Structure formats: C-alpha cells, structure tokens
Amino acid sequence: MSTVPHLETKSYDADSFATHALSSAENLSAVLDHTLLKPDATRTHVLQLCHEAAAHRFACAMVNPAWVSLAASALTGTGVAVGALVGFPLGATLSASKRDETTRVLKHGAHNIDMVMNVGLLKSGNAADYEAVRQDIRGVVELAHGAGAIVKVILETCLLSFEEKLRASELALSAGADFLQTSTGFATGGATVDDVALMRGVAGNRAGVKASGGIRSLADAAAMLHAGASRIGSSASVRIVSELTGDHNVTGSNANPGY
C-alpha cells in the first residue's frame, strides 16, 4: 500500500482568487509579503522596507529576527504586520531553539512567523522522523497561535521529491500550519508553478499557500496566484505592483537574493 498522503478534495478556486488579487493595486498588495532578508541589510534598508510596506499596504514586512523590534516600531499604527523568520535558512536548528526564537520575535512584535521545516529529518524517511518534523512545527505553531500570530511553514520544495512534498505538506497541516510555503530562496531553487499547484492540491481550503523564491515580476506573481498561491513573498513587491499600475519607473529599493 502506498504511504503517500492523500490529496485534499475540497475545492479551491485559484482562478477566482487570482482574478480578484490582480484586479487592483490594493488587492495585489494585500497578498504580498514585502521581504528583506539579505545578511548585509542595514537599519536604513529595514526602515525603507517598512516605509514601502506602509505606503503600499502590503500584507506584511518580512525581516530577519534582529530587525523585528525596529520594524514593529516603524509600522506601529499602520495596520501592516511584521513577519519574522524562524530556523532560517536551513531549518536544521534544534526544536527548542526554534521555540525560543519564536517566543522572542513574538515579544518584539512579529505577527507572521515563517519557519523552515527540518528538511533532513523529513528526508530521513521513517515514522519517528516524520513525527519529529510534525512536533518541530507544532511547537512553533502553539506559541504563535497563543499570541494571535500565524505560521507559514517553508518546505524548501527544491530539495524534495514529489512524494516528500506531499508528505511534508500533510505533516505541516496536521501540525496546525496556517500556510504551506515553497522556499527560502537561499537553496538550489525557488517557487515553481508545479510545486504551488501540488501544495494547493494537498491544502485545499484547509490552509493558505505562499509562493516565495525568485518571484520578481507581475507575470511571475500572476502565474503563482493562478496555480493556487494565496500569498506571495518577494523583495520585488513594489516593482510587481508598479507593473500592474503601469508605473514602470518605480522599482523599490530592496531587491535582494532570497525570497
């Protein structure tokens, strides 16, 4: 008997969601996580990211943990959430470290937690390791949900086989993930239409799907939305929205490797 998790049968109308998201700059901005993860990002870069996130009303401003407090202060009163990475970019830190990092970024003002799954454990391929992956995620989810935050689990799909992608998605969902997410953007590849469609096929209406890694244009974003993404992570968010509005002179200031 196959051990591949079953696909979720509940329908999700990706085309309708995509059409709505692409119907206006406001709607598109609402599904974009504006991201700055490069290691040499400075205080000035982070503040610029927050300024852009507030001006465009992006879904959140996604930063590394050291900058969460600054971003939260800069975005106070704007209604734009702060997102933080946990276990980034490898996912191979101790579960206790992930929980500690989650607790700290929540206290500093994060409301979106993007955590990296332990890829090596998932690929080890036995029941005990699968359960360890689930508990690793569950520990972060419980803390985040207790603080009113959401969790997006980064599967790093470029490192997984088809069967591993299915299993990783099911484990993340069973652990309470709010979103399945494709990539860190720091491994061997980023988001693909096929991976987004696969993850949406598993998630159905149970959770969101976030496409991240290498999404640099409106065409890239549209393809991911039509494949089933309900959130897009990108450092090129300003450029993407400007393409929709026809203002091609606006590109933003934070384009960088990763996401």
Output the pLDDT for position 247.
85
CB burial of residue 132 (10 Å; 0-12, 13-18, 19+): middle
Say if residue 80's pLDDT is above 50: yes
| Bridge partners, residue 86, by sequence | 115
In CATH, the architecture of 14-245 is: Alpha-Beta Barrel (3.20)
Q: Answer for the pair 190, 216: CB distance below 8 angstroms, yes or no.
A: no
d(CA 39, CA 122) in angstroms, rounded, equals 27
Output the pLDDT for position 87.
98
DSSP 124: H
Q: What are phi and psi of 137, to 5 degrees?
A: -70, -45
Output the pLDDT for position 9.
44
Output the pLDDT for position 197.
98
End-to-end C-alpha distance for the chain, whole angstroms: 37
Specify the higher pLDDT residue, 8 or 212.
Answer: 212
Residue 251 three-state SS: coil
| Bridge partners, residue 151, by sequence | 113
Q: How does pLDDT run across 165-222, given as a tens digit for each residue?
A: 999 999 999 999 999 999 999 999 999 999 999 999 999 999 999 999 999 999 999 9
What is the token pair recorded at 127?
């029941």
Q: Quote the percentage of the chain above a pLDDT of 70.
A: 92
What is the token pair recorded at 199?
């993850």
Domain boundaries, the chain: 14-245
* Among 62, 89, 85, 236, residue whose Cα is nearest residue 158: 89
Give yes or no for a cis peptide into 39 (omega within 30° of 0): no
DSSP 68: H
